[in-house]
Amino acid sequence: MTTREEQKNQTRSKILKCAFEVFSKNGFAAPTLDIAKAAGVSHGTIFVHFSTKEDLIIQLVRNFSFKLRSTIIVPLSSPKGIENFLINYMDVIQKNEQFYIRLIGEKDLLPDEARLMFLNLQLSNARSFATIVKLQRNSMKLKNIPSTMMFNTWIGLVHYYLLNKDLFSPKGSVIKKYRDELISTYLELIRVQD
Amino acid sequence: MTTREEQKNQTRSKILKCAFEVFSKNGFAAPTLDIAKAAGVSHGTIFVHFSTKEDLIIQLVRNFSFKLRSTIIVPLSSPKGIENFLINYMDVIQKNEQFYIRLIGEKDLLPDEARLMFLNLQLSNARSFATIVKLQRNSMKLKNIPSTMMFNTWIGLVHYYLLNKDLFSPKGSVIKKYRDELISTYLELIRVQD
Amino acid sequence: MTTREEQKNQTRSKILKCAFEVFSKNGFAAPTLDIAKAAGVSHGTIFVHFSTKEDLIIQLVRNFSFKLRSTIIVPLSSPKGIENFLINYMDVIQKNEQFYIRLIGEKDLLPDEARLMFLNLQLSNARSFATIVKLQRNSMKLKNIPSTMMFNTWIGLVHYYLLNKDLFSPKGSVIKKYRDELISTYLELIRVQD
Amino acid sequence: MTTREEQKNQTRSKILKCAFEVFSKNGFAAPTLDIAKAAGVSHGTIFVHFSTKEDLIIQLVRNFSFKLRSTIIVPLSSPKGIENFLINYMDVIQKNEQFYIRLIGEKDLLPDEARLMFLNLQLSNARSFATIVKLQRNSMKLKNIPSTMMFNTWIGLVHYYLLNKDLFSPKGSVIKKYRDELISTYLELIRVQD
DNA sequence: AATGAATGAGTTTTCATTCAT
DNA sequence: TATGAATGAAAACTCATTCAT
């Protein structure tokens, strides 16, 4: 890679990084000029690397999905498979809580392609979860509920807390504050009591 | 009421009705001009009846909260109290599904006053639910989970389906399609199995 | 005059009175709606009595000019003619200080006709003053200066204080505060010292 | 300075110049769109260079005050100090007569900052004048009048002519037409005659 | 005569995007 | 490749004036 190309990549990365931060903080309606300022590049430079604001968002969501996908561990045959999955899931989200909140909260502002990618990520997670649940049914008596529903209940609960962060945890991370309570509640719910 | 007043009220109602529809369809960022067009009045007329766009939204949310409040029945001492509450809850939401979705999905675009009103409505519902749950514990064995968490799980699940309506039910009402499944799943989860 | 006509006149007077007050307080750019509210009549009523806002202002200035004209006394053959004129002039202005300030300060917002009327008033005053000066020259040694200039110096000084009321007397009347100082300064200036 | 910067400065200057002309001609209530048209730039361009209309006015008044300040000469120890000051004062005003008239006539439309700057300029001039008067008292017998009053009489007279330009000199410059008469009248007034 | 709801042209400001340098 | 000045299409809101009642 030539020096020129390297520098180009660096600029591009810088923009992506700063866009991530600006959008996390101010939402996807934040002006592209703010991103340029944050990245220390000119306004026009953004459009050298990304044809439109939509394109920038798409790349951002693509990277984000990829990162999440590669971070979410699916502990297939563990006896505590579900719990481990949930713990890991929470940790992953917590690391990019603000951006994740924007993603689920401003879904309708996203370009179609970005929305689809994020959707696919969730579907993929749902499938992973379903697999784990299936395996876990052996070692743990679970409520007789379709695994889709099981996942949706979980993700619904988590998203509810995330979207109402200002209510539940205005200052710090919601996930950090409620992680354990959410997990234990959920596990309690899906378990058949003896 | 004189004819003049009637006509004024009609215009006001027409604007409110059309604003409700336009916001339901396009979100709260929809231009006031679109509402004027939909209502068949001039742009200026909107500001004769509502001092600002924010004011219009506040009135809209006020009416909506009031309607919901007066429609949500709280069947205190029924043996099927929880189930009846949930059925009723779903029916009420279903009637204004689109607007409800905008309300929870574009929370951050709302004027403070509107956000607070809607928040209070949800808190009020949470309290009603808690009361019912307490009573129901006698006639039905329930999971040993704080009633707040019980409500949040329910509302999280429902909101998740609403916010992902395009995924679950792109054409018709999500609630109509999933009402029974959501209720039965939820009841199954909170019940202690024998 | 029939009762009907009486009432009509009353409404008209009420509007004129309130317009005078509103314009005094907020300037001629004040909305006609504010005047209607102050007068306790409907917005449309204003345009029943005055075809346009300009027309209303014209009537207002006409009345005002008339009132001033009839209040300004021209003490022709007094030995203290000039001084008496100045004292009276100040008193007359002071009674409607705010409106007078608007008139000289927002001259360019006035309809042509109104501007002309107010101009004529000032010309008439200038002529009166010239006459007095001529008579006074007998009993008092005055600077050898054209009487037009004498008047303009006086009115310039007074208007300067009026237009900078916020500087000279932000709370109460400027004229009240500076009347004596302005008069004595002026008299000192025009007198030939021995 | 690069070509780019030069061009930017040119646009900025062009806007300032045209704003100066448009405001001079139509007053500060003139629409920003008119300025854009006069400058041959798009409406948005104005707001690239000036964050708000108020900001534009502030810059304009700042430049104007600066120009006036640097042009007004204070001939301290001259035997004809006062006369020279007045001549120079008139010349300076004459160069930007229209704008100066708007400034004193639409004072209340100005942003606070602009009003303050122009006020300070006048105060500064008043102080200069006071100094000159003090020195001149040696070489010329002057009326026994506070120097503040001396300045106010002068500026009152000049402003009166300026504000009534349409009366005194509808076509050309008032100052040009009346400069000498105003100065000689004023000098005659403040002098003690022997 | 009085009402007051409705009109619509006019105003400032924002911001993604373009393009000459 | 990067720059950043310039663009122009919105968007919310104001207010004198009209007209059916």
Residue with tokens 């708000």: D52
Q: What is the CA radius of gyration of chain A?
A: 19
Nearest to D188 among C143, C157, C185 (CB): C143
Same-domain status, B114 and B151: yes
Residues 6+ apart with CB under 8 A from A27: A102, A106, A109, B108
Which of chain C's residues 47-76 bind strand F, using a 7 Å CB cutoff?
47, 51-54
Say how many Å lie between the first and final Cα of chain C, rounded: 63
Same-domain status, A74 and A108: yes
Same-domain status, C41 and C93: no
Which residues share a beta bridge with C191? Answer: C142
Question: What does the pLDDT read at residue B26?
Answer: 94
Question: What does the pLDDT read at residue A3?
Answer: 81
Same-domain status, C103 and C172: yes
Q: Please, are residues A18 and A38 in contact by the beta-carbon 8 Å criterion?
A: yes
Distance from C-alpha of D94 to C-alpha of D169, rounded to nearest angstrom: 13
Domain membership flag for residue C18: yes
Q: Please, are residues B164 and B170 in contact by the beta-carbon 8 Å criterion?
A: no
Residues 6+ apart with CB under 8 A from D90: D158, D175, D179, D182, D183
Q: Please, are residues A189 and A151 in contact by the beta-carbon 8 Å criterion?
A: no
Cα of D113 vs its chain's centroid, Å: 16
pLDDT tens for each residue of A154-182 = 999 999 999 999 999 999 999 999 999 99
Phi–psi pair at B146, nearest 5 degrees? -55, 140
Angle between helix D53-71 and D112-139 (nearest 10)? 10
Domain membership flag for residue C102: yes
Residue A172 CB coordination number (10 Å)? 10
With CA atoms as reference, the chain B residue closest to A120 would be B167
Q: Please, are residues B183 and B87 in contact by the beta-carbon 8 Å criterion?
A: yes
Q: Which residues of D touch C (CB under 8 A)?
A: 27, 104-108, 119, 143-146, 149, 152-153, 155-161, 163, 167, 181, 185-186, 188-190, 192-193
Question: What does the pLDDT read at residue C74?
Answer: 74
- Which nucleotide's C1' is closest to A8 (Cα)? F1
Question: What does the pLDDT read at residue A73?
Answer: 77
Question: What does the pLDDT read at residue B80?
Answer: 80
Which of chain A's residues 38-77 bind strand F, using a 7 Å CB cutoff?
41-45, 47-49
Q: What DSSP character marks residue D111?
A: -
Annotate C109-120 with DSSP letters as a single string.
GS-HHHHHHHHH
pLDDT tens for each residue of B116-137 = 999 999 999 999 898 888 888 8
Contact list in A for residue B185 (CB cut-off 8 A) is 145-146, 149, 153
Closest by CA position to B165, among listed B108, B107, B94: B94
Closest by CA position to D67, among listed D43, D48, D27, D95: D95
Residue A20 CB coordination number (10 Å)? 19
Residue D12 CB coordination number (10 Å)? 17
Q: Which two tokens stand for residue A40?
A: 């220390």
Domain membership flag for residue A55: no
Domain membership flag for residue C60: no
Buried b (16+ CB within 10 A) or exposed e, C74-90: bbeeeeebbbebbbebb
Same-domain status, D63 and D42: no
Reduce the DSSP state of residue B128 to 3 states and report it.
helix
Distance from C-alpha of B118 to C-alpha of B65, rounded to nearest angstrom: 6
pLDDT tens for each residue of B76-109 = 677 788 898 999 999 999 999 999 999 999 999 9
Same-domain status, B114 and B30: no
Closest by CA position to C142, among listed C81, C182, C188, C86: C188
Say how many Å lie between the first and final Cα of chain D, rounded: 63
Distance from C-alpha of D5 to C-alpha of C177, rounded to nearest angstrom: 54
Nearest to C156 among D143, D146, D159 (CB): D159
Q: What is the nearest CA distance from B183 to chain A, expressed in angstroms?
A: 11
Closest by CA position to C131, among listed C77, C182, C177, C61: C77
Question: What does the pLDDT read at residue C154?
Answer: 96
Name the residue closest to the C1' of F2 by its CA.
Answer: A45
Residue B191 one-letter amino acid? R
C-alpha distances out from residue A123 to A47, A78, A128, A146, A173, Å:
32, 22, 9, 15, 25
Q: Pick from C164, C179, C183 the residue to mutate for testing the D interface (most D CBs within 10 Å).
A: C164
pLDDT greater than 90 at residue B141: no
Same-domain status, B23 and B67: no
pLDDT greater than 70 at residue B36: yes
| pLDDT mean across residues, chain D | 92
**CATH code of the domain containing B127:** 1.10.357.10
Domain membership flag for residue A56: no
Domain membership flag for residue A130: yes
Q: What is the nearest CA distance from C152 to chain D, expressed in angstroms?
A: 7
Q: What is the nearest CA distance from B26 to chain A, expressed in angstroms?
A: 10
pLDDT tens for each residue of C19-47 = 999 999 999 999 999 999 999 999 999 99
Distance from C-alpha of C86 to C-alpha of C151, rounded to nearest angstrom: 10
**Number of domain units in chain A:** 2
Domain membership flag for residue C30: yes
Domain hosting residue D73, numbered range:
58-190
**CATH code of the domain containing A162:** 1.10.357
Distance from C-alpha of B27 to C-alpha of B10, rounded to nearest angstrom: 24
Residue with tokens 């209607």: C36
Annotate chain A with DSSP letters as a single string.
--HHHHHHHHHHHHHHHHHHHHHHHH-TTS-HHHHHHHHTS-HHHHHHH-SSHHHHHHHHHHHHHHHHHHH----TT-TTHHHHHHHHHHHHHHHTHHHHHHHHHSGGGS-HHHHHHHHHHHHHHHHHHHHHHHHHHHHS-B-S--HHHHHHHHHHHHHHHHHTHHHH-SSS-HHHHHHHHHHHHHHHHHBPP-
Q: Please, are residues C158 and C88 in contact by the beta-carbon 8 Å criterion?
A: no
Nearest to B157 among A105, A152, A163 (CB): A152
Question: What does the pLDDT read at residue C194?
Answer: 62
In C8-148, DSSP assigns E strands to none
Residues of chain A with pLDDT under 50: none
Same-domain status, A8 and A95: no
Same-domain status, C85 and C148: yes
Angle between helix C174-190 and D147-163 (nearest 10)? 100
Same-domain status, C112 and C27: no
Contact D152 C160 (CB under 8 A): yes
Domain membership flag for residue C181: yes
Residues of chain D with pLDDT under 50: none
What is the share, in percent, of chain C residues with pLDDT greater than 70?
97
Same-domain status, A107 and A144: yes
Q: Please, are residues C153 and D189 in contact by the beta-carbon 8 Å criterion?
A: yes
pLDDT tens for each residue of C59-107 = 999 999 999 998 887 776 777 888 999 999 999 999 999 999 999 999 9
Contact list in B for residue A107 (CB cut-off 8 A) is 105, 163
Contact list in B for residue A105 (CB cut-off 8 A) is 105, 107-108
Question: What does the pLDDT read at residue C173?
Answer: 97
Same-domain status, C24 and C91: no
- Which nucleotide's C1' is closest to A45 (Cα)? F2
Contact B108 A161 (CB under 8 A): no
Within a 13 Å sphere around the CA of B25, how many CA atoms are in the beta-carbon half?
A: 10
Phi–psi pair at A191, nearest 5 degrees? -85, 140
Residues 6+ apart with CB under 8 A from D20: D60, D64, D99
pLDDT tens for each residue of B156-170 = 999 999 999 999 999
Question: What does the pLDDT read at residue B137?
Answer: 81
Nearest to D160 among C108, C155, C190 (CB): C155
Distance from C-alpha of B39 to C-alpha of B18, rounded to nearest angstrom: 6
Closest by CA position to C86, among listed C167, C168, C157: C157
Q: Is D33 exposed, middle or buried (0-12, 13-18, 19+ CB in 10 A)?
A: exposed
**CATH code of the domain containing D16:** 1.10.10.60
Distance from C-alpha of B162 to C-alpha of B153, rounded to nearest angstrom: 14
Cα of C123 vs its chain's centroid, Å: 12
